[in-house]
Chain A
């Protein structure tokens, strides 16, 4: 194995000596299994903008958010048992914006997070335009989730497995959406894949 590139947002690995199906499983895990943070529940307190609540909520969900896999649990794995979540499985964002005399654009930077490490990857993602007198007030809850459930939880934008120059050589390229470093996405994918394989191993009566 050889690391061809590791720039934080993107990682390229040359794999040799492993089966294509195993390498592809890693790629697929990067897309669908590795958890990342995204806004999931939105409580709209006020919305006099031109966008409907559901559209605004959808747009919020698409904002990539910096993810900390160490401190946060997947809601279904969290021990709080609370359907609303706890400080270990959700992060509250607040948005309170009012249109001044000119048409203004509310961006992801206007989202105020309760955890300063969990915040939008970019501050300049436009969320909504407000005309004078229009206002939006909402609470948004970000949670960890998996890409297989919804595209907003996909940690990476690009995940490819391509043939290398030689037979049996593959190149795995992963570009991150910004929530997690690309390397971590791959590592987590391998970890999760291993965990799943382990489960099978246990299920068929192998050693723990």
Chain B
């Protein structure tokens, strides 16, 4: 990507209702009180900048336009910022933009059913119809040997896998074109483009949540019990959300430069569908392929969700920890990638 011409260091910093990012305590401070004496903070000089690690440099260039705010020099060691703070930067930015994210998500959810007569009924009817269709297909029309589990449990397994996978595929398909959709917002208003990822993800998770509730009701009606482990579901959903956010940021950034990414997704996602254990379980796969399939993070999440929701067992702890670490790494690196190229994207869209 074109990077010529940056001969001198450049800063864009502005201060608004909150003090510069480099002072952690200021984040918690009331938005309206900001210390004007810290206002015109200086950027670290060139030699300090070069001594920072690449990751810090990446965060250093973080510029965001909402309300004229910008975070500067959060990576400079001379400011005494604890390195661990880098891990929470995306959350803090999202919290800062929470009103905006909430407003846009709310209107996106409302507008989906605007102009339709049945409105929210569709949100529930659609997954329900799909679930019943799968039950019918796999029990009556196409009796597949279901390994000593009941048909409804088998359908529940499939549906569980489908909820997660549809979430993944919806975001994977939408992400590359998200910035093009919101081109006017990005170029001509002080809209923080990284918030678009949060908005799209929250919307997808809300729809998935509705399907999940339909699944639970289905299980109660057919199996008359819900395992106690269901309460642990958020512990699996949250890392998955982080994973998806990282993916969305990557795809959004790449898709802004070239629409080939969108076409690539059309090819990749169906292949992913076969590589994830939605319609089968790992036991049905020859042993030499299983380790490769386990590399598929989405598949691992489906496995864990099934264990919690359908079977009432705790998932494998090692797999859980590995998934969390991998998801968090993807989250942070996706964010870093996007923020690093954000200003270039604005010029290119």
Query: A and B: real partners?
Result: no
Interface residues of B (CB under 8 A from A): none
